[in-house]
Structure 1
Amino acid sequence: MDIEIATVAARPEWGPMLGQLSGLWPEFMSQDPTAGLFFGYHVSTYPEYVLIAVDQATGQPVAKAHSVPISWEEDPADGMPDGGWDWVVRTSAYDRLSGTSPTIVSAIEIFVRPDLRRGGLSGRMLAAMRANAARLGFTDLVAPVRPSGKHEHPDVPIDEYVTWTRDDGLPHDPWLRVHVRAGGKIVNVAHTSMVIPGQLARWREWTGLPFDKTGQVHVPEALNPVHCDVDQDVAVYIEPNVWMHHRIG
């Protein structure tokens, strides 16, 4: 497939097509209350950091990659905050409002159209994100990575899952493997990367599950069980991610 990858800053007419690559995650994943701090302003505020890939033959979008600049004074290789994805989004918003100069770039999302997955496009988007960060003058790219195979093992602790490797020494997890092949290194686990709370009625809407017993609820595509409390009428999903670090300078 002949594709062109560009930032929204370079091809602003492509910005509206980002919406064609939305709504394909499980419904509960779009309910993180922190997400609006980024996705409400990603085109207007971070156009240099939003990449979109378009099929030259059809003119249709096939993938996107979101990132943000953030301030971080320590070496990312020494460890990143446990708050992961939510921390990145909040930090980028705080830095923007306070005028704090960014020092590194963090990935937010790389999304490939479902019918085109497993064809190497995710690796191409990651390479484009690395190159874009370098073009903008940064030497470090980090990513709170959502391990794509973890949902198949929801009861396995993330600290154990992240140590699984194949015979060739590469990570067992496919998405972690893409990052390692691209030159990334696993830094640490972000145990509270996304926190998604909601009343039980909302969780029933999002998942179609009853949520009628206190305890852990296994939700399809969730990396960990969701904690349900019937007496308090609330359920909370706490998603772990894995910090990857790419030295690009």
Structure 2
Amino acid sequence: MIRIADLATRPELRGPALRLGSVGGEFLGRGLTAGLASSARLAAHWPEFFLVLLDAAETPVARAAAIPVAFPADDRSELPDHGWDGALVWAAEDHLDGTPPTTLVALEVYVAETARGQGIAGIALAELKERARRAGLDSLVVPVRPTGKPPLESIVDYLATGADPWLRSHERLGGQFRKVAPFAMTVIGTFAQWQEWTGVRLRDGPNVVPGGIAPVIGSAAQDLGGYVEPNVWYEHPL
């Protein structure tokens, strides 16, 4: 039996929840907006939307984190092409401006490897939907990371295969495709930084790195590598 807690009532669960693992390569935490999504900030501002799912032994088996934003709004007629990064910027803008939120954005749903295949991700999404309802919000949207995408395949070609397990999971749970976020996560670093983050020595042109679903484009002349990852926006009706 799965029980759901949150950091508003169980702040001590933050560390155990983070130790479950992470999505993608460590380098994803090096993006410009990654600091906005730190668990400490989410716990400080929106602890009721940071969920920890526990098994019968009270052991964390999954976590889910979400942030409220104002969408749609006068200057926000579409979900952002910047996806995950864009949602974090919106949340920061709204917090600074005191703008009331209307939509919940799920930043992450992560299930421990030992607990996968039991429908736990669906339980987490259902709880986020319920919390959005209770908060008086209008919708739940998710910039879904197509985890099975080969790094050198275009997102358009990959979506045409219909093969991604995480995208299919969202569709089975009632998620409705809205649009592709072509530059949902962006990470820029020097050649030395990329080698530190990934163990890969970059060369000019596209480079495949562990945990990446897009290539790192290297330029030796500029000593820069740029990673731009697509995600896919889904809406889960409330």
For the criterion TM > 0.5, the same-fold answer is yes
Report how many residues are paired.
235
Deviations 1:20-54 (A, max 9, x none): 23556421122122011121401111111111112
What corresponds to 1:56 in structure 2? 56
1:202 matched to 2:193: yes
Q: SS of the counterpart of 2:68?
A: strand
Moved more, 6-15 or 193-202: 6-15
Counterpart-to-counterpart distance in 1, 2:177 and 2:18: 31
Q: SS of the counterpart of 1:81?
A: coil
What corresponds to 1:245 in structure 2? 235
Counterpart-to-counterpart distance in 1, 2:165 and 2:22: 22
1:191 matched to 2:188: no
Counterpart-to-counterpart distance in 2, 1:25 and 1:225: 13
Counterpart-to-counterpart distance in 2, 1:163 and 1:188: 14
Whether the 8 Å contact between 2:28 and 2:34 is mirrored in structure 1 is no
1:109 matched to 2:100: no
* Selected match of 1:216 from 206, 231, 238: 206
Whether the 8 Å contact between 1:38 and 1:93 is mirrored in structure 2 is no
Counterpart-to-counterpart distance in 1, 2:142 and 2:96: 22
What corresponds to 1:229 in structure 2? 219
Counterpart-to-counterpart distance in 1, 2:18 and 2:172: 29
Q: How does 1:131-210 map to 2 (within 5 A)?
A: 131-150=130-149, 153-165=150-162, 172-210=163-201
Alpha-carbon distance change, 22 to 98 in structure 1, aligned in 2, over 3 angstroms? farther
Whether the 8 Å contact between 2:23 and 2:110 is mirrored in structure 1 is no
By how many angstroms is 1:138 displaced?
Answer: 1.7
What corresponds to 1:125 in structure 2? 124
Alpha-carbon distance change, 80 to 229 in structure 1, aligned in 2, over 3 angstroms? same
Q: CA RMSD in A?
A: 1.8
What corresponds to 1:168 in structure 2? none
Whether the 8 Å contact between 1:79 and 1:187 is mirrored in structure 2 is no
User: What is the letter of the counterpart of residue 80 of structure 1?
Assistant: L
Q: Which runs of structure 1 show a deviation greater than 6 angstroms over 4 or more consecutive aligned residues?
A: none
Moved more, 118-127 or 41-50: 118-127
Counterpart-to-counterpart distance in 1, 2:187 and 2:135: 33
Deviations 1:177-229 (A, max 9, x none): 11111111111100010000011101001111121x21100113211111001
By how many angstroms is 1:233 displaced?
Answer: 0.6
Extract unaligned runs of 5+ from structure 1: 166-171
